[in-house]
Structure 1
Amino acid sequence: MRNPTAAGLGPTSRGCHDGDMSTSTPPLPGDERAARTAPTREQVRRWRRYLADERAEGAVYRHLASRREGEEREILLGLADAERRHEQHWRDLLGDQVGRPGKGALRTRLLGWLARTFGGVFVLALAQNAEARSSYADDADATDAMAADERVHGEVVRALATRGRARMSGTFRAAVFGANDGLVSNLALVLGVGATGVPAGTVLVTGVAGLLAGALSMAAGEYVSVRSQRELLEASIPDADAHESIPALDVDANELALVYRARGMAPAEAEEHAAGVMARMLAGHGMPAADVAHAYEEIGNGWSAALSSFGFFASGALIPILPYLFGLSGLPAIGVAAGLVGIALLGTGAVVGVLSGAPPLRRALRQLGIGYGAAAVTYGLGLAFGTTMV
């Protein structure tokens, strides 16, 4: 709990941002009241910064809401309203020193541009991080309610981002991770072979072979995986014609309940469910068909998954061999290949960070470290084999 005295600079008293200015500050001697009500220059600067950030964050939520419908739109507009209340708190504190409208922090303005331009789970994940960085809990001029609001906002945005991640297609995730596999594996292969001192043409052929081998392996693995899942699903789907036998069942024995018990229902629940099904069938309403279309859609098509995996892996594996395609050789080719792959690894790592709600820079550097670590090992082995062969 922050010190009420420290936070009691006129309008800063708890609840004053609702507009009740008459009881916010008790009568005080003139000098003491003036000391409390006169904000310092540093406070004015900080309050103006907070005001600008709250205005920018509210705009982010309104932009995101404009791209959605139904419940999510209402939730985002509710967050925007909360930011407006926080904005009013700083306006009340500043009074006639509110000054010209500020632009907000650079990261908040960037977030606003992303919300206007793209929207989607990426912006929600970044907004989640922005809410987590709030300093209201340690600022005596912010109310306890405002600090609590920011913590709750973080959880609301986290839940919305989780919905978005769940809706995100597996194809996009496969793009990120497939490309990353191609980057790391082919860079390691190219550097390992190049370190032995073989001609640039040999390195290029090796890189192309690694690209094809890895992409084909990924495609085959994805095809087998998807086909296996579909076959398992098909084996688990109830017989579409079995419901035709339901009217002939012995109503008293009602063996239909055994079907639902075998599918995991408790005995009492199975009996109740079976009785309901029997009643519908005897009334002529028919048996509701099993809804498996969604499950098939989630798994996807085997050939589509295979082609996607091939393309994603190949796109990443192509980057390390680009210098050799353009005629470079030796250390310059190795350096350019490592640099290009490093940039790509930073990009894929940042995307993974955003999707996971983690700091993008940290994940980008982790991805870079892992990729360069694998490449360094194979490069060292290539140097060792090259020296041995000499």
Structure 2
Amino acid sequence: MTDARPAASDADRAKWRRYLADERAEAAVYRELAARKEGEEREILLALAAAEGRHEAHWLALLDGDDRGVPRADLRTRTLVALARRFGSIFVLALAQQAESRSPYANDPHATAAMAADERIHGEVVRGLAARGRRRLAGTFRAAVFGANDGLVSNLALVLGIGATGVPAPVVLFTGIAGLLAGALSMGAGEFVSVRSQRELLEASAPDPGVQDAVTDLDLDANELALVYRARGMEPAEAVEQASLVLARVAAAGRLRTPTGAIPLSAEDDEAVGTAWSAAISSFCFFASGALIPVLPYLFGMSGLGAVALSTGLVGIALLVTGAIVGVLSGASPLKRALRQLAIGFGAAAVTYVLGLAFGTTIG
């Protein structure tokens, strides 16, 4: 900036102070996350913190180095700092991804084009880091979320449907407990079979490690290794190029030097599938915990409309929480996901409740 720049208004300086506070807080988020990581992920997070430091220096320069009166960062960023300091989890990265995508720099004349580009790129970097965590979490998390949600919705529907027929409260209670046990066992067994089958399919599709030994004896002119790459989805020209590269290394060194092997691995990632037992246990436990909530009022001796109202309210809160968690981890709006989860759950329960009322009237 030159001395000929126009005088800044009070509104501009107030805005720069807010930006300065947010940049400092975002840098703190990345440093806190880096403190819990090691290796490449730590280096990436520290590089992001350094970039936020450059942005901080830009706003500080516009303020002529005067950082007096800098406000606290916005609530969202302060929350991220607190979460990063205490947990350092995938949730923080997912929230940081959303924060980077909402940067106002692209439309602010006082921010440089490089700063706006930085924020766009930061969003992709954080998305990549979050994707690593999602892959590690995917198998068990899927079973946990789906298990809890199924337990909430199915047992609420069961309890409300049976209760609407007018049967005594103990019958509703025992029906709910039976639904809890049956559903949890079914979900656990289903997840075990599903994940085990998926892993077996991946293992069947994975390259045979013994094939590597045959590479050194291949006919370099025929280059049949290209057929392997083509069979795994490469275009013919790309397959020939890759196979030629591998065979050239073999010819030069007399052995295969590529760290990941000559044969491409399956596109699926075993890490994202999870283990059969972890998925089964998570599914069982979370379905049971979700299915327990609609039964709680009856466990404590309630009955009638009071039990129905409390059961529905508790399940509604739980559905909002699980929906928001899915939204955060998927990088989407937590509010939209929470409301969608609530609408689906209450819709299913309302259908069974109406059917129960109709059935009870018919019996009466």
TM-score range, shorter chain: 0.7 to 0.9
Equivalences for 1:135-214 in 2 at 5 Å? 135-214=104-183
What is the one-letter code of the residue matched to 1:52? A
Task: Give, in angstroms, the shift of residue 159 of structure 1.
Answer: 1.7
Could you tell me whether the CA contact under 8 Å between 1:219 and 1:310 is conserved in 2?
Answer: yes
**Could you tell me how far 1:42 is from its partner in structure 2?**
2.2
CA-atom RMSD in angstroms: 3.6
For structure 1, the residue ranges without an aligned partner over 5 or more in a row are 1-15, 17-22, 27-35, 282-286
- TM superposition shift of 1:173: 2.7
- How far 1:125 moved relative to its partner? 0.8
Q: Which residue of 2 aligns with 1:25?
A: 4
Of the structure 1 ranges 234-243 and 128-137, higher mean CA displacement relative to structure 2 is found in 234-243
Range that drifts further, 223-232 or 209-218: 223-232
Q: Alignment identity in percent?
A: 63
Call closer, same or farther: CA 1:93–1:141 in 2, change over 3 Å.
same
Does residue 1:54 correspond to 2:23, yes or no? Answer: yes
1:1-390 residue pairs with structure 2 within 5 A? 16=1, 23=2, 25=4, 36-37=6-7, 39-95=8-64, 98-232=67-201, 235=204, 260=228, 264=232, 276=250, 301-390=275-364
Deviation digits for residues 9-37 of structure 1 (CA, Å, limit 9, x no counterpart): xxxxxxx3xxxxxx4527xxxxxxxxx31
C-alpha deviation, 1:233, in angstroms = 5.0
For 1:168, what is the secondary structure of its paired residue? helix
Residues 254, 274 of structure 1: 8 Å contact kept: no
Aligned length: 351
Q: 1:209 to 1:241 in 2, by over 3 A?
A: same
Q: Assess if the C-alpha contact under 8 Å between 2:160 and 2:352 holds in 1.
A: yes
Tell me how far apart the structure 2 counterparts of residues 152 and 239 of structure 1 sit (CA, whole Å).
38
Contact 2:136 / 2:272 at 8 angstroms: preserved in 1? Answer: no
Measured in 1, the distance between the counterparts of 2:123 and 2:273 equals: 32
Normalising by structure 1, report the TM-score: 0.77
Q: Distance in 1 between matches of 2:58 and 2:274?
A: 51
* Deviation of 1:131 (Å): 1.3
The alpha carbon displacement at 1:355 in A equals: 0.8
Q: Amino acid of the residue matched to residue 115 of structure 2?
A: M
Greater RCO (CA < 8 Å, at least 6 residues apart) = 2
Deviations 1:334-379 (A, max 9, x none): 1111111111111111110111101212211211111111111211
Letter in 2 for 1:25: A
Q: Report the TM-score, using the length of structure 2 for normalisation.
A: 0.82
Instruction: From the superposition, tell whether residues 46 and 298 of structure 1 become closer, same or farther in structure 2 (CA, over 3 Å).
Output: closer
1:119 counterpart SS class? coil
Q: Distance in 2 between matches of 1:239 and 1:385?
A: 60
In structure 1, C-alpha distance between the alignment counterparts of 2:288 and 2:245, rounded to whole Å = 55
